[in-house]
Structure 1
Amino acid sequence: MPIQEGFLNQRLTVVPRRVVVEASSRPVTRRLMVTDTGHYPIAADHLMKRPNGIEETILILCTAGTGWANIAGAQHRVGANAALVIPRGTPHAYGASYDNPWTIWWCHLRGADLAELIEEVGGPVIPIRRIDRAIALLDEIVTTLERGHSPASLMGAAGAAWKLLTQIVVDRTMPAPGDPLQRAMAYLAERLDSTVRVADLAALVGVSPSHLSALFRRATGGGVLAHHTALRMAQARSLLDTTDTTVANIAREVGYPDPFYFSRHFKRMHEASPTEYRNRAKG
């Protein structure tokens, strides 16, 4: 028989609506707030139907087993190591599969910043690469709200929820091990002492130069060469900070045969010459 909750060893906490209303006017929690959260292990016969949606956005993390969701008439399968996102006000139904019921962590979210965050997260079903970190953050949210619903507890849960959402966004943009972007980034990181042609790098990882450039723009906000330059400059800063080697030697180590060109390039990026940067007080 389908059930909404009541699973063996489940955890569940619901913030009273009066407390939610009060928190909606406070500086931090008006921007992001967790209103309900829980953990359902091996949730056999789990079924939830909300034909009119709810006021909050729902985030469900499936850690084992499988489930399904119907969101605004579209059917989706939800497997292990995936998140399901249902925006506020969206008609939906979801539940555990019959033969391999899911284990889930979940939370309901609201706040002024949430729409923008969810737009970046995407969905409705998102693969989660670092599932252990996502579980740890949801466990932190559940544990925090199990202890109470004080302003401090709501703020702590909001902080963990913010980190969870931004982690999902970062994971979506960064490359998976072995894919062309990851192999290209690794190749660039190993060749800080030389220049690299985009066409050669694209051929090495098996994609076109335009596709590789698009992958880099999506992940880093800049192109292939901009990413390589950023890596080379990061190494230059590290050498300036931690060694006494000359600027000319550092220039050669990061692929600039001409130390004067290196110094001009460094100053253009850091608004200080290498020597000025080295002498600047830090920490």
Structure 2
Amino acid sequence: MAKKEMNKQSNPLLPGYNFGAYLVAGCTPIEKGKELDFTINRPNGMKGYIINLTIKGKGTVFSGKNAFDCSVGDLLLFPPSAVHYYHRSIEAETWFHQWIYFRPRALWSDWLAWTDTLNHVGRLKIPSQEIYQDFLNLFQQIEREYNSGDLFSEEMSMCLLEQLLIKCFKLDPSNKQRLLDPRILSACHFITDNLDKNHKISEIADHIHMSPSRLAHLFSLQVGSSIIKWREEQRMIKAQHLLHTSGAPIYHIARQLGYDDQLYFSRLFKRYTGLNPSNYRNSR
């Protein structure tokens, strides 16, 4: 299904856009008195995350005692269900901000736990012009990739977004102790890159040059789940995405995710989501 066909409102900058994809990226150029000069008010938040970088002017987030301004070089992270209430600051003529809406991969959870938050909204300040330019380039590269329509544009955008989130995480010195062991991160990538294969723990361990017992222990300690259960969760997340964004038959999606038995896949999917695959696909 094409991106535009997924939304009744085709412009993500205007009310009514569906934000149903894994990733949507853009830049909002707000100028005083122009079409986009209105308050975004989503009291129930959104289903995914939004990361936002101010590149010109000033914006105001929230109201009353919780209100704060964001200016050039300020990063914001709105998690799912966090209240969205923001607009151009009354002190500024403009507020331009790059933004990315996304559904995260499970292995990103640590990188999305920012230390400085207000009403669940994460805040970071980029410390130098050089680092700001690096962040801006990444935001713009993700936007270009998303809008290119090329084969694998969404996958490429997600890879670039992963780099961006790691850079955000590294800006906060208090996060150094929470980074995943590089070997566990490598194992997570290996699993998600091969969701159609039922690799044994020993095969994953060989890939990252670790003993199977050590891998199983460290993975459970750092990720909070066994390898098999975590892989199953990744498959269910991917299944939801494929059911909503492709017209592929359910048996084909099941095989893409390593399940030869469509009936078993359907039972598993219902256990995770409460709906069988057909009903889930028709639920939008």
TM (norm. structure 2) is 0.47
Larger Rg computed on CA atoms:
1
TM-score of the superposition, structure 1-length normalised?
A: 0.47
